[in-house]
Structure 1
Amino acid sequence: MFVAGGLGVLFLLGVRAAWFFTIDDAYITFRYSDNLANGHGPVWNVGEDPVEGFTNFLWMVWHTPFALLGLDLPTVAKLTSLVAGAAALVMLVRYCHQRYGLVAALTAGGAFVVFVPTYFHLTSGLETVAFAALVLRAVIVTLRALDDRPVRVWEPPLLLVLAGMLRPEGVLAALPAFLLWLWLRRRDRVAWLWSAGAVVAGAAYFVWRWTYYGHLFPNTFYVKFGNVAAGTAWFEATVPLLAPLLALTLWLLVRRETRWAGGLLVGTVATTYLTYVVSGPSMDYVHRFAYHAFPLLCLGAGLAVGPIRRWYLASAVGAVAVGWVAVTGVQPFDLPVIANYGPDLARAHVAIGKGLGQVDSVPPEERTVALNDAGAIPYYSGWTTVDIIGLNDEAIAHGGDVTQRVLDARPTVIVVRSLSPDVPADAYGMDVLQVTEGYEHVATVPMRDSYYKQVFVLPEWADEVREPIMAAVDEAQRTYDPGRYELTIDRWLDRVRKDFPW
């Protein structure tokens, strides 16, 4: 109990230190949830053909009733992930302690709580921690079946369906655990009935979303998938990050006692990571995609040190594994960006979005915006949006010319990223000078060092848009890390010290 309490305290402190972080991509999902709650269906732009610009259908549906109640969706997402993360920690500690005792539990739980990216993924607003916890649960349920312990017959099929609805690759991640469980229950007619039900439910969902959105895969697939070179680089970066955990999980295959558990864990990690190796995951901050299998590797490490008979040797091996991820977890090159991302997003993207949302004099049919950061600005503004990256734009995702797409749309507002206070010539393949010809440049909004938002408005609406945007931006710039734009860990630690003055 003391050990569990200590790990729980560390976990809560980590959550508090990262609580202000929300990734811009999360607001894409929130926009779909909001539109669904308002009766428009899971769409990006109300009144237009549906586009599947998210890869977390179940996460989007989960937030819909909260949107209907008018609750703050970023907070709902954080609280949901907090519960999922706490559940993962409890599962790790409980299973390892029951199976092998204190050292195993400390190794698995310790690795989980000292890994700094855990807390940024938990507070990001995305489904990362929920998905990792769900896959972990699927594996632990099957491990219980291997141990001849009772397992609810409906749980493995349900977990398979939920994993597939939570992320497109979720079926692959949960499949090894499900297949092994089904093999263990191969003579159980009820298990086959539940499995058939899962197949029918999963197929019905797949056919519905294919029919509704018109494409076999989510729109993001056509933007991101297929960069094998990037996938190889991702794999090469992931192996050193988790080396002791990977080695200990593989070691399970050597011992007869742990061979079945090792095969399940290795198979699940392999199927989970295979998608990212062949796709080259983009928008991968502080090892987000590697994290999907991270709790499994924590579990593997705990199960590997557990059978070591000499407690001091087991403790030493466990300490090396825990210490390794503690060190590598603070070394991602983008950690300074992510650690300061919360206030940076709030004083730029969120402020611009809220400012646009306050514009009442522009007619609803003229409330259109084109931009490359399709998250907080579309969500808070509610304006019809052209996503020039293509995540939420079918024409661009399938190879359409970005410049021509924006020229044809002729949006009232254009917001582009720049790496200096000067207006860029190009933004994600869009000719900025061409598409903004005839527009009025109304604002340069600093987000952080070397990152600015340039705001252009059609002349007839420039005054109506400028005033609310600048009012929201000025207030946000005074509120969130005023005057500080440097990308340093010290800026984050200064905020943490204010939260924990002791």
Structure 2
Amino acid sequence: MDPTPERETLASRCLLALSAVLAAANVAFYFPRLVDDAFITLRYAENLVEGRGLVYNAGEWVEGYSSLSWVLVQAAGIALGLDGITATKLAALLATIALLTGVHRLTREVFELSPVWAAAATALLAANAYVISWCLYGLETPLYLALLVWFGVLVRRVDELPPSLGRALGLGLLGAALALTRPEAPLLLLAVGLGAVRLPRDRDELAAKLRRFAAPAAIVIASYGAFLLLRRALYGHFVPHTYFAKQGHGLVLSHLETLFSEGASIVEQLFWAASAAAAVAAFGTTRRLLVPAVFLANAFFVVSVELDWMPNARHFLPSWVVASAGLFALAHPRVRARSPRVSIAVAALALVTAGWLFHVDSRFSRYEFQTHGRGVEWVRPKRPAEWRSALALLRREDPPGFEHANPEHLGLIDLTFVAIEASSRPEEETWFFGRDIGMVGYFSPIGVIETVGLFTPAVIEWTGGDERAPVPDEAIRAIFEREIVSGEIYGLWADALGRNPAIVRRYSVLRGSPRHPVRFTQRTHPRPSADELEARYARVLAKMPRLFHFAELYGSPAGPSIELRARLAVERARGR
């Protein structure tokens, strides 16, 4: 027997309240964390606001960001007087709220489910640590996902509701913004657009739908075409420079393994199996193909590009989002009429999946696992120590145990300290050479040459965008013609530098060896004075959030580390 409307309303409200609690808890846990790449777009945004243009290094016009929309959002926050980190976090939080509300509407309107199941889909997504964490790490992820789901909602409205100029214009503008948010966004936009439309029954209906979508499509195509021309004029290419650094070498199907192996639990495997069944049910009840369309487009992108070291689950977030709503198509009244118990099974699977996804802290990709993983700890739970650390950082306090921190080993932020303290020469006239360069470039005006080729075109010329390719000696000699004062490089780049002892002798090797120098700093001219260091660290501290401390991706407390190092560096310099 179906529940009464009063009970449905109560159940829906309870599930929405649960969604808010789950989302708030995940946000509290992940809010302090930032991935290093987030600082790359922040430096672009800051340069734009300060009149230097959409560049990373002043005067070098290279499109080393992956989301123009996100750079503009960050720039708007900075222009309003916020520090870059706070602007990024507030934008991420607002976009995450938009994502959750969008999934609720997507479930109601596209999958045509009741408020109870829409609230259940919202709760399932709010519990998903993979989705919420990557929404808060500082990249464009939440904006991308929010625009994606709302695009699906507006497509349904233009398709089903009476013709409206406002709806058509809104869909076109939303699609234009979405297309600029990720390199693969046009592909996903097409998938959502086709998947959210009810399949026509005949040619007349098809013609009517084409007329409805002509204006929105024209807006998207014209806007994206103008953007491509602008990109060509500014940067000399029709594709972002990151494409040359991240392009794959054919279709690599092993990139799909994160869905069913590489730490994926039996719970997640069951979720994807049920989602496949739900996609069939959704087509039967709504004549829409949203879940398979998004999944196929998402999978094609994943197997086409070079995956980096970060947890691979992030590449499948569009599929996670749409499948979280689509799963409940198995609870559609037409399905329940044939199989009354299926809704109980769906609710049970959703509950178990939500619990599992909420308990997860982070997953390592196979690359990270080989370096840092410890067998069964491939998937790690949210531990009490991490909770205490996150809550302390939210209160802008040092996390427990930080009083025992080694000031020489504070995490990835150490590279920023090495760059700031390397030379008495003006930072703007010197260069840092390395791979993990996000925080270095944001907290210091130093020039940056990076080994991946995101915004260093010469690296692509030398290696073809393949980090496994040999590095020629001419590359090292060309790089070190600049005033390189510090750096940290790995693998074949360190080998190549080691083959040039005349260059290595100009540096103190802090990590590695003269034959394989990993971290190094110049030793041919003086270090900054105490007053110079005080001024440099004052600039860094001025960029820090005032309401919370931020941490690195895996939890190292970067905010407290900066304050500690700023004090110690000046004290040491005064004692020299």
Structure 1 and Structure 2 fold alike (TM over 0.5) = yes
- 2:23 counterpart SS class: helix
Of residues 16-25 and 150-159 in structure 1, the stretch that sits farther from structure 2 once superposed is 150-159
Partner of 1:236: 257
Question: Structure 1: how far apart are the matches of 2:477 and 2:488?
Answer: 15
**CA-to-partner distance for each residue in 1:320-341, whole Å, 9 max, x for gaps?**
1442364367272366699799
Partner of 1:434: 500
Choose which of 524, 529, 553 in structure 2 pairs with 1:459.
524
The 1:320/1:336 distance shift into structure 2, 3 A limit, reads closer
Question: Structure 2: how far apart are the matches of 1:467 and 1:389?
Answer: 31
Amino acid at match of 2:416: G
The 1:7/1:91 distance shift into structure 2, 3 A limit, reads same
Partner of 2:475: 405
The 1:31/1:405 distance shift into structure 2, 3 A limit, reads farther
Question: Structure 2: how far apart are the matches of 1:185 and 1:201?
Answer: 25
Question: Structure 2: how far apart are the matches of 1:95 and 1:59?
Answer: 23
Amino acid at match of 1:404: E
Amino acid at match of 1:12: A
CA contact (8 A) 1:106 1:302 kept: no
TM-score by length of 1: 0.79
Amino acid at match of 2:456: D
- 2:294 counterpart SS class: helix
**CA-to-partner distance for each residue in 1:86-144, whole Å, 9 max, x for gaps?**
22222323453573335522441232122212232122100112211211112222334
Question: Structure 2: how far apart are the matches of 1:157 and 1:261?
Answer: 23
Question: Structure 1: how far apart are the matches of 2:113 and 2:276?
Answer: 18
Of residues 245-254 and 283-292 in structure 1, the stretch that sits farther from structure 2 once superposed is 245-254
Partner of 1:332: 363
1:392 is the counterpart of 2:404: no
Q: How does 1:41-52 map to 2 (within 5 A)?
A: 41-48=53-60, 50-52=61-63
- 1:289 counterpart SS class: helix
The 1:4/1:453 distance shift into structure 2, 3 A limit, reads farther
Choose which of 314, 333, 337 in structure 1 pairs with 2:343.
314
Which 5+ residue runs of structure 1 have no aligned equivalent? 419-424, 446-451, 477-486, 496-502
CA-based RMSD of the aligned residues comes to 4.2
Question: Structure 1: how far apart are the matches of 2:458 and 2:258?
Answer: 33
TM-score by length of 2: 0.70
1:275 Cα deviation after fit: 1.0
Q: How does 1:193-208 map to 2 (within 5 A)?
A: 193-208=215-230
Question: Structure 2: how far apart are the matches of 1:314 and 1:47?
Answer: 60
CA contact (8 A) 1:457 1:465 kept: no
Amino acid at match of 2:131: T
**CA-to-partner distance for each residue in 1:16-58, whole Å, 9 max, x for gaps?**
111121000111111111111111111121023x111111111
Partner of 2:122: 109
CA contact (8 A) 1:223 1:391 kept: yes
The 1:8/1:186 distance shift into structure 2, 3 A limit, reads farther
Paired residues, what number?
A: 469
Amino acid at match of 2:185: G
1:83 Cα deviation after fit: 1.5
Choose which of 232, 239, 253 in structure 2 pairs with 1:210.
232
The 1:113/1:212 distance shift into structure 2, 3 A limit, reads same
Question: Structure 2: how far apart are the matches of 1:289 and 1:279?
Answer: 10
Partner of 1:416: 488
Partner of 2:184: 169
The 1:389/1:395 distance shift into structure 2, 3 A limit, reads same
Partner of 2:573: none
**CA-to-partner distance for each residue in 1:162-187, whole Å, 9 max, x for gaps?**
22200111011011333565987854
The 1:333/1:351 distance shift into structure 2, 3 A limit, reads closer
1:346 Cα deviation after fit: 11
CA contact (8 A) 2:419 2:432 kept: no
The 1:243/1:162 distance shift into structure 2, 3 A limit, reads farther
CA contact (8 A) 1:359 1:465 kept: no
Identity %: 21
Amino acid at match of 2:136: T
Question: Structure 2: how far apart are the matches of 1:133 and 1:202?
Answer: 19
Amino acid at match of 2:348: A
The 1:69/1:352 distance shift into structure 2, 3 A limit, reads farther
1:153 Cα deviation after fit: 1.3
1:206 Cα deviation after fit: 0.9
The 1:139/1:239 distance shift into structure 2, 3 A limit, reads farther
The 1:374/1:148 distance shift into structure 2, 3 A limit, reads same
Partner of 2:295: 269
1:296 Cα deviation after fit: 0.6
Partner of 1:73: 84
Amino acid at match of 1:53: G
1:82 is the counterpart of 2:97: no
Choose which of 284, 302, 326 in structure 2 pairs with 1:300.
326
1:271 Cα deviation after fit: 1.2
1:282 is the counterpart of 2:294: no
